[in-house]
Structure 1
């Protein structure tokens, strides 16, 4: 009987641990911010919201020694992408020149350096709830 109680306790512990592993924290760092004006805005997006709607999570980070760091907490497991922008004038939106070129630096979790907007397939990553750290370059 004692053995059954121990096995039941171990099974219950494993189930609780499996359920708590469904969300976790993601940290993202931009190590190459040029200039100290404004802040760096980070958005964590799903496939449904990427480049279409507000992010699931958003963080604005100060620039310290050319670097900005964001922490997303209690993120459910899933597939995400992070978009980042150096918001030099703190207006919380990307500013463009009259010819349509961005006036502020940006990047995505895929670190693709192509011309044009970020692409979901190049930016996405899977998140299983274990702590994740990403470096995103402008």
Structure 2
């Protein structure tokens, strides 16, 4: 049974190169680690805005982390000191101080129906 959908409009997509890779998390212990996500989405990047969606089976609190994999290597590329050189973002446009935001800053509540979120990529 479908509990709802999270529809993301990702803004500030720099180019149509590569893909947007998104991970849906349902607990703070896994967020934002890619390998531990509940679900994944991969959509072709569209310069300007790109849309993607997650369908969830259970009501609850969820957070999405995503990045623009411009060179299609499956990795968020960083510079020599670890700062991302590809665009990234989180639900609620949550930001961390030195690293990713806290799970609780990025959660959206799904109780049925559609939850729409706009995420602005940071490059």
TM range (shorter): 0.7 to 0.9
TM-score normalised by structure 1 residue count? 0.76
Is contact 2:78–2:85 with CA below 8 Å preserved after alignment? yes
Of the two, which has the highest radius of gyration?
Answer: 1
Do residues 37 (structure 1) and 17 (structure 2) align? yes
* CA distance, structure 1, for counterparts of residue 57 and residue 49 of structure 2: 23
| Alignment size in residue pairs | 118
Is there any run of 5+ residues in structure 2 with no aligned partner, and where?
none
Is contact 1:75–1:129 with CA below 8 Å preserved after alignment? no
* CA distance, structure 2, for counterparts of residue 105 and residue 62 of structure 1: 14
Higher fraction of helix? 1
Q: CA deviation at 1:28?
A: 0.8
Q: CA deviation at 1:92?
A: 1.8
Q: CA deviation at 1:65?
A: 4.2
Match of 1:84 among 63, 66, 91: 66
What is the aligned partner in structure 2 of residue 94 from structure 1?
76
* CA distance, structure 1, for counterparts of residue 104 and residue 90 of structure 2: 11
Q: Considering Cα pairs closer than 8 Å and 6+ residues apart, tell me whether 1 or 2 has the greater RCO.
A: 2
Is there any run of 5+ residues in structure 1 with no aligned partner, and where?
1-19
Q: 1:35 to 1:65 in 2, by over 3 A?
A: closer
Match of 2:4 among 24, 45, 48: 24
What is the aligned partner in structure 1 of residue 117 from structure 2?
134
What is the aligned partner in structure 1 of residue 51 from structure 2?
69
Q: CA deviation at 1:117?
A: 1.6
Is contact 1:50–1:120 with CA below 8 Å preserved after alignment? yes
TM-score normalised by structure 2 residue count? 0.84
* CA distance, structure 1, for counterparts of residue 22 and residue 57 of structure 2: 14
Instruction: Find runs of 4+ consecutive structure 1 residues off by over 6 angstroms.
Output: none
RMSD over equivalenced CA pairs, Å: 1.8
Q: 1:135 aligns to what SS in structure 2? A: strand
